[in-house]
């Protein structure tokens, strides 16, 4: 862009003392009352060629040169069909095929050029093209100011640098810093992307663009992949975006937002910090957190710093939380044209659904097929029922959005409160190596236990006179396979096969310690009761204290103890002699 400086220097040398009348030049370059400066020896120019030298009334009596005019000044050469010298006003005008060529190869062409040696301002008009090693500028009128060391246009134009073509209504070029300040609607056209915004500054040395208004960077190959920001920086060579205000990254039909963001259009890697959200409209799921990373080419993302995810369902959404949440897609092994979506929550994972709440060290959810895996100390609640084991698998019906069944693998234990309306220490229990739990109307309905199956079940009957439930006792069962049916207030063993052994004990005959399995683990402190509970490691509720009803057993024990005491009293006592 040094061409502008050369143009200004050489034209300013065209001042000499000749008679002329006031002439009309572009208002931008007018003298505005300043006196013409004296011509210094170093400012003199050399007229190399002109077909004719004239002075007549055509240009108000000013001298002009016609035909293949060629003027040289300090290595810069001006070519034109005509050059007029408005000498005592230090004004110069070149008309027709005007061309200024510098020793470094930079060139400006236009139909007309004007310059005022006093104000040191110039203007090139009509089909203006400026080229230098950095770029090519095309516009209808180009203004330049030697003192301010800048040039600008406001009639619309393009700036191209070999890789990008910039379209704008107005632009200012700062010669010292090589910075271009675009004003108004700007479009930067690149083979890989398009940048559009109202206020952009670009440094031609560093190839860095700064955005100061609503700006969009659109991927040419896939226009749905784009970046939006209202304040940011873009490195055009490395295609890296640094976004600082109201920014969004659109990729693979997903939307990443955050307070401060970064994205690399080459690698497809992006980060976001502060109030981060990753929205996936196709999956009807979003993830929030304090820090996030996305990998466009792998179609995966990671969220940390208090992350949680919400799987939006028409009837009942699912909420996930953990120390780290991953989401990703991969092709279906049976049909590579179909992608399946997955969600994984690591370390202290929690889940909430209105009819099922749980926690485990990690949770893996196949969103497409509706299969959820809970690993390491999983616990799942449903109403006043609790299921634990080494691993839990939950199967969702993707159409009804409800849980169909659970599989509990290893050390399976299901516990249900006998009566949720009281605080009695009474729980039905069934356990074994493997357990399948079936849901009906969003509640646990049936369980099938295989391998060392055992159960502890409270048994009631209806009093014929009062028509009220009456406690009969507790049934202890051991079988190879147990089928259990969960009713409103009871657990009914409907099948007990393979080495079956079942006994019912009245309440007066069963010890309190036999009413629970040794690994009984009813948990009310960590129980997730509302979706906001997943936002912390544990809601840390006060443990519910249940009262044991041992009155009948204690009375029976007292009676037994009394009978034993009577028997002991009847025995003759030995007396030492």
- 100 or 302, greater pLDDT: 302
Boundaries of every domain in the chain: 44-155, 378-569
Question: Of 491, 473, 519, which is closest to residue 428 (Cα–Cα)?
Answer: 491
**Which pTM was predicted?**
0.80
> Dihedral of the CA atoms 276, 339, 298, 261 (nearest 10)?
-20
The residue-averaged pLDDT of 8-20 equals: 43
- State the Cα–Cα distance between residues 273 and 190, nearest whole angstrom: 29
As a whole number of angstroms, the distance between CA 164 and CA 236 comes to: 9
pLDDT of residue 321: 96
3-class DSSP state of 4: helix
Compute the mean pLDDT over every residue in the chain, rounded to the nearest whole number. 84
Mean pLDDT calculated for residue range 355-379: 94
By C-alpha distance, which of 409, 408, 397, 390 is closest to 353?
397
Report whether pLDDT(320) > 50: yes
Across 495-521, average pLDDT: 86
Q: Rounded mean pLDDT of 29-49?
A: 62
Average pLDDT over residues 368-381: 94
Label residue 18 by pLDDT band (50, 70, 90). Answer: very low
Q: What is the CATH number of domain 44-155?
A: 2.60.450.10
Q: Is 525 exposed, middle or buried (0-12, 13-18, 19+ CB in 10 A)?
A: exposed
pLDDT in tens, 207-259: 899 999 999 999 988 899 999 999 999 998 899 999 999 999 999 999 999 99
| pLDDT over 90, % of the chain | 42
| Residue of higher predicted confidence among 554 and 287 | 287
């Amino acid at each position: 862009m040094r061409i502008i400086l050369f143009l200004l220097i050489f034209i300013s040398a065209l001042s000499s003392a000749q008679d002329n009348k006031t002439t009309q030049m572009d208002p931008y370059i007018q003298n505005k009352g300043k006196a013409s400066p004296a011509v210094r020896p170093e400012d003199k120019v050399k007229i190399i060629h002109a077909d004719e030298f004239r002075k007549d009334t055509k240009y108000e009596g000013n001298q002009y040169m016609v035909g293949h005019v060629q003027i040289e000044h300090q290595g810069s050469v001006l070519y034109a069909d005509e050059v007029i010298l408005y000498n005592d006003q230090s004004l110069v005008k070149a008309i027709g095929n005007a061309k200024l060529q510098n020793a470094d190869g930079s060139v400006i062409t236009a139909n007309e050029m004007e310059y005022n040696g006093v104000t040191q301002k110039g203007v090139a008009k009509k089909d203006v093209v400026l080229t230098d090693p950095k770029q090519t500028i095309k516009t209808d009128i180009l203004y330049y100011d030697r003192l301010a060391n800048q040039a600008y246009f406001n009639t619309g134009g393009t700036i191209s640098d070999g890789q990008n073509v910039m379209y704008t209504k107005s632009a200012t070029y700062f010669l010292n810093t090589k910075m271009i300040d675009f004003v108004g609607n700007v479009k930067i056209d690149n083979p890989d992307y398009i940048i559009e915004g109202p206020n952009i500054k670009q440094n031609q040395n560093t190839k860095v663009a700064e955005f100061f208004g609503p700006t969009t960077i659109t991927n040419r190959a896939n226009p749905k992949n784009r970046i939006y920001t209202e304040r940011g920086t873009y490195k055009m060579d490395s295609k890296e975006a640094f976004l600082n205000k109201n920014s969004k990254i659109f990729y693979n039909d997903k939307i990443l937002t955050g307070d401060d963001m970064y994205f690399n259009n080459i690698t497809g890697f992006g980060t976001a910090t502060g109030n981060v959200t990753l929205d996936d409209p196709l999956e009807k799921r979003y993830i929030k957190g304090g820090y996030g990373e996305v990998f466009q080419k792998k179609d995966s993302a990671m969220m940390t710093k208090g992350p949680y995810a919400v799987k939006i369902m028409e009837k009942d959404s699912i909420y996930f939380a953990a120390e780290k949440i991953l989401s990703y897609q991969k092709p279906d092994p049976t049909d590579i044209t179909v992608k399946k979506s997955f969600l994984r929550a690591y370390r202290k994972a929690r889940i909430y659904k209105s009819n099922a709440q749980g926690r485990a060290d990690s949770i893996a959810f196949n969103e497409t097929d509706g299969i959820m895996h809970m690993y390491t100390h999983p616990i799942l609640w449903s109403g006043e029922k609790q299921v634990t084991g080494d691993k839990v698998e939950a199967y969702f019906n993707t159409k009804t959005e409800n849980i169909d069944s659970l599989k509990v693998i290893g050390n399976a234990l299901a516990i249900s409160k006998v009566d949720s309306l009281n605080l009695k220490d009474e729980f039905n229990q069934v356990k074994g190596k493997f357990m399948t739990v079936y849901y009906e109307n969003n509640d646990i309905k049936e369980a099938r236990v295989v391998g060392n199956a055992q159960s502890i079940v409270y048994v009631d009957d209806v009093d014929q006179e009062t028509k009220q439930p009456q406690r009969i006792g507790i049934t202890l069962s051991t079988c190879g396979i147990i089928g259990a049916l969960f009713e409103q207030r009871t657990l009914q063993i409907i099948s007990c096969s393979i080495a079956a052994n079942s006994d019912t004990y009245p309440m007066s005959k069963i010890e309190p310690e036999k009413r629970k399995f040794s690994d009984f683990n009813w948990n009310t402190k960590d129980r997730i009761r509302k979706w906001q509970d997943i936002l912390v490691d544990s809601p840390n509720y006060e443990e519910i204290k249940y009262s044991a009803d041992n009155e009948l057993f204690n009375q029976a024990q007292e009676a037994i103890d009394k009978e034993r005491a009577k028997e002991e009293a009847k025995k003759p006592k030995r007396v030492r002699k």
